Every structure is written in C-alpha cells, then in structure tokens.
Amino acid sequence: MDKNRQLLTVIVLFLALTAILSIVRISISMNNSGAKSKLGFPDNSPGIGVIQIYGPITTSGESGAFSQSGGSDAIVEKLDQMQNDPKIKAVVIRINSPGGTVAATQEIFRKITEMRQQNIPVVASMSDLAASGGYYVASACSYIFANQGTITGSIGVIISSPNFKDLFEKYGISMNVIKSGRYKDILSSSRELEDDERELLQSVIDNTYRQFLKDVSLGRNMPIDEFSDYADGRIFSGSQALEYRLVDEIGTYSDSIKKAKGLARLEDNAPVYLESTSPFDQFFKSLEGRISSFDTPAALLNHSLVEYRYVQ
C-alpha cells in the first residue's frame, strides 16, 4: 500500500509540474506574440539572423531542457526559414563543434552555399572549436572569423571500430555470424580486419576526403593544391589558420555581427534575431525527443560511422 501511495504521489507531482510549466509556457507565448526583438526593434525591421551549431554534427542531433538541437535537419530548417524571411538580410553561424558525420555536414554546407548564391551573406564565427566537420561548415560561409585561440582545421575523414578479438579469446567468447555477403560484417569488433576489407574502407575514406577538399576549395575560392599539404588532419590555432588562409580574420562573435551587418548594408543598430531559447520550450522539446527515442532499437545506434571529426 505504501509503495502504491508513493507512486501515486510521484504521478500527481509530475502532472502538477507539467500543468504549471504548460501555464508558464502559454504565458510566455502570449507575451512574445507581439514582442520585439531582443534589442527592442519591431519584428519586421531588416536585420540579421543567428544560428548556433554546438556539439557534434549529426542528422538528428541531441537536445536537452536547456540546449538546442545540433542536428543538421534542425539547422537546415532554421536556415531555410531565414532564407525565406524578407527581414533577414544576412546570417551569422556561431560554431563550437568538433565535427560530425559526413552527410549531415554536407547538407548544412549545401544550404549555406545555396543562400550565398541568393546573395544572402553568411558569416562564420568560430568559438572554442571548429574542427573537421565544423570547419567544413565554416568554409561554405562568405567570411570566417576565428579567435586567436580557436582550434580549427583537422581537415580529413576517419572511420574506426574497436577490436576485441584478443579479449574475446581470453575469456572464451565467440561470435556466431550469418551474413548475406563477404563484407556485411566489415569492422566487426570480434575479429581482425582483412587486407581486402582495409583496402575497401580506405577507398571510401579517400573518396569522401576528396569531396571534403573539393568543397573547401569551392567555399574558400582557393585551389586545392594551395592547402592540400596541410589538409592531413592537423589542427591549427586561429592565428595559424589565418596564415594558411583557412579563415579571413581574427575576431569575436561581436565582430562577426558587425561584419554581417556591413555585408548586408545594414545600419550598425540593425536588430539581431536569435532563436528563442526559453527553458520551458526546451523542456517540452526534450520530453518529445525522449519519448520518440524509445521506439528506436538500440542495435541501430551501434554502427561505425564515417565522420569528419577532430580526434583528441
């Protein structure tokens, strides 16, 4: 009986909290329905939009009660909204990312390129880290700022998988494998990688690496042979990246805002439109994400991915 009362109490408290948060959320929405931008400008004033890319870049990304999704789907959707919003004259992309998966990174790159083709200036602002896939995204932008101590570069591709063969043998563990083709269990953690498998994977990495180089060349308007010698996975400080023409200027987030306004020929006091980061909105978004994730088989999350990633 006591356990049932405790469970009932927890349920009642949770429902009460949900109701309170819903009321607050509605109140916030009502207050913001006719709101001005954070700088006090009317909603229809020409200004610039800001997009944040924080953390690893994947298709869906992760979001929590107090964080935004870093998924390419969400980022591309936000960029698309800004692209089609007549008051957004330029965009600043604030990057703090070690990189991410290939397709997710390329989708963001393509969207930024499309915006530039429509004469919408896009300025990259590198924070602590904009390496590998983070740099890939930045290279698509019209102009790139880095701090002197920003870690960037790491141009390259990696695929990895652990090898537990010796550990399995030590404890007498063996795997029963039934597969439809020779390479279906490539990168299995229970055995050594065969020479032909290594060659196959290397061909995939080399092909993807060439895509990386080609896009950086396109985004930076720089021939591949001018940066290929140091596009070997090495990292740079912001100051070094400026030397190698991987970034355009040493500057802060505020500098990138000013630059975007200048490129869009806006006044210095033009508004900056930021995505709402209400903790209540993020709380409900995170609940929605967690509920849907229960439908995903854990096995599907256990694949090795080809990534643009800075390895510490």
Give me the residue label for tokens 């963001």: 108
36, 38, 179, 184: the catalytic one is 184
Residues 6+ apart with CB under 8 A from 264: 46, 48, 89, 90, 121, 270
Could you give the angle at the alpha carbon of 211 between the alpha carbons of 161 and 308, nearest 5°?
35
State the pTM of this model.
0.78
**What is the spatial distance between Cα 56 and Cα 51, in angstroms, rounded to a whole number?**
15
Which residue is it, tokens 């930024």?
112
At 7 the pLDDT is: 62
Question: Out of 1.10.150.120, 3.90.226.10, 3.90.79.10, 3.50.50.60, which CATH number does the structure's domain 46-156+228-309 have?
Answer: 3.90.226.10
Q: What are the contacts of 297-304 at 24+ separation with CB within 8 A?
A: 304/159, 304/160, 304/161, 304/187
Give me the pLDDT at residue 90, please: 98
Q: How far is CA 283 from CA 19, 60, 65, 78, 292, in A?
A: 13, 17, 4, 19, 15
Q: What is the pLDDT of residue 201?
A: 94
250 Rama class: left (phi>0) / alpha (psi -120 to 50) / beta: beta
> Which positions of the chain have pLDDT values less than 70?
1-43, 61-70, 275-312
| Secondary element (H or E) of residue 2 | helix 2-32
33 is catalytic: no
What pLDDT sits at residue 174? 87
**Residue 132 known to be catalytic:** yes
Q: Which of 132, 139, 154, 217 is catalytic?
A: 132
